[in-house]
Amino acid sequence: MASDGITATHVRRSFGDVRAVRDVSLHALPGKVTGLVGPNGSGKTTLLLMLSSLLAPDAGEIRVAGIDPVAEPQRARAVIGWMPDALGAWGSLTVRETLVTTGRLYDLPRGDATVRAESLIDLLDLRALAAAPARVLSRGQKQRLGLARALVHDPRVLLLDEPASGLDPESRVHLRVLLRRLADDGRTILISSHILSELEELVDDAAFLIAGESVSSDRVAASAQRQRFWRVRVAGGDVRAAQAAIAAALERTDVTGDRAGALVSFSSESDAAAGLAAIVGAGIAVAEFAPSTGRLEQTLLDLRDEAGRPPSPVAEASTAGPAPAAAADPPTGDTDTTGEGDR
């Protein structure tokens, strides 16, 4: 049921003359991980603040687990786990004290808060840091503490703003496994990240925001079906020679490349499969054949181009306190397509 997840209907929010969220509607289902995808300044963080009850919308309707966070903020916060991009913790408190204190703010009895804190310390691999004050933690360690804090009261809904920022590769894998498990337990998870390659491996669905407005599912589906670039890496050969050989095999003049291999555009996966067959049939030793960008990244780039952004030959390179109280040239690799400072 929609009431068990997150719904936003024609939500708007301005800061003076700045219209941060112009018109956003979305539905995140329970048991699913939904990605919130958009370029810098598209309103992702502002939307998450409204969903978490920390900011009131100017217009529109929000329901989180069937609760109106504007009318009933305390009730909403009881079911929401909110992880902001910046930890905003008490610097003098240790990791353990931070989690126990947060549990107490959620009205957990002290004994239960202590037990829960110890469980989360192990779950988020914070045991070696349990007695360390929050102010000495690295960015990645603070992110793990922030997620632990969001989970203290076992929420049904998780709102995560850049949870993978600053994490090392091993911690990112752990995060993906954990969030997948939490979703499988029936929680609703809405996650915003600049690292689209991470979202690609995690999300079941995605909501796209462009210039403060949500993008309709029809537009997203149409963008996802557009021409896409595939990278072809040839075993033991140089890129320029590979480009020429592949162009001859496909009888095309638009084969380009980068340091990793040749780049060829295809309008569908079936066309890509036919192209691969032609390349292999010409005796070219293909070592790798894959899309040059992930689906989320390519869809976002297409949507931004459609919205009037000047085409770019290369995608841009990858980039509050606790809740209880209140056809262009081809992209050439994994990118976040955004940057920092999203409102």
The phi and psi torsions of 183 (rounded to 5 degrees) equal -65, -40
Average pLDDT (181-186) is 94
Q: Name the token pair of 73.
A: 């903020």
Q: What is the pLDDT of residues 10-33, one digit of tens each?
A: 999 999 999 999 999 999 999 999
Banded pLDDT at 310 (limits 50, 70, 90): very low
Eight-state DSSP code of residue 323: G
- For residue 308, the model assigns a pLDDT of 55
Same-domain status, 30 and 75 = yes
Residues 288/261, Cβ–Cβ less than 8 Å? yes
Of 198, 221, 244, which marks where a domain is finished? 221
- For residue 121, the model assigns a pLDDT of 97
The phi and psi torsions of 18 (rounded to 5 degrees) equal -90, 120
- For residue 336, the model assigns a pLDDT of 40
Same-domain status, 124 and 174 = yes
- For residue 224, the model assigns a pLDDT of 63
Domain that holds residue 111: 2-221
What's the longest Cα–Cα distance across the chain?
Answer: 72
Same-domain status, 30 and 176 = yes
CATH of the domain at 61: 3.40.50.300
Q: For residue 47, how many other CB atoms are within 10 A of its CB?
A: 32
Q: How many domains is the chain partitioned into structurally? A: 2
Same-domain status, 92 and 173 = yes
Q: Name the token pair of 174.
A: 């752990």
Same-domain status, 206 and 246 = no
Give the least confident one: 84-93, 146-155, 172-181, 217-226: 217-226
Of 221, 253, 288, which marks where a domain is finished? 221
Same-domain status, 264 and 294 = yes
Q: What is the distance between the alpha carbons of residues 149 and 143, in angstroms, rounded to a whole number? A: 10
Residues 52/80, Cβ–Cβ less than 8 Å? yes
Q: What is the pLDDT of residues 208-266, one digit of tens each?
A: 888 888 887 777 666 666 677 888 999 876 778 888 999 999 999 888 888 888 899 88
Same-domain status, 140 and 236 = no
Q: What is the distance between the alpha carbons of residues 328 and 244, in angstroms, rounded to a whole number? A: 21
Beta strands in the chain (DSSP E): 6-15, 18-28, 33-37, 59-64, 80-83, 157-161, 188-192, 205-210, 213-214, 228-234, 256-258, 261-266, 286-291
Three-state secondary structure call for residue 26: strand
Same-domain status, 235 and 338 = yes
Q: What is the pLDDT of residues 272-293, one digit of tens each?
A: 999 999 999 999 999 999 887 7
Same-domain status, 309 and 270 = yes
Same-domain status, 180 and 260 = no
The pTM for the full model equals 0.77
Of 221, 256, 272, which marks where a domain is finished? 221
Same-domain status, 231 and 179 = no
Same-domain status, 162 and 297 = no
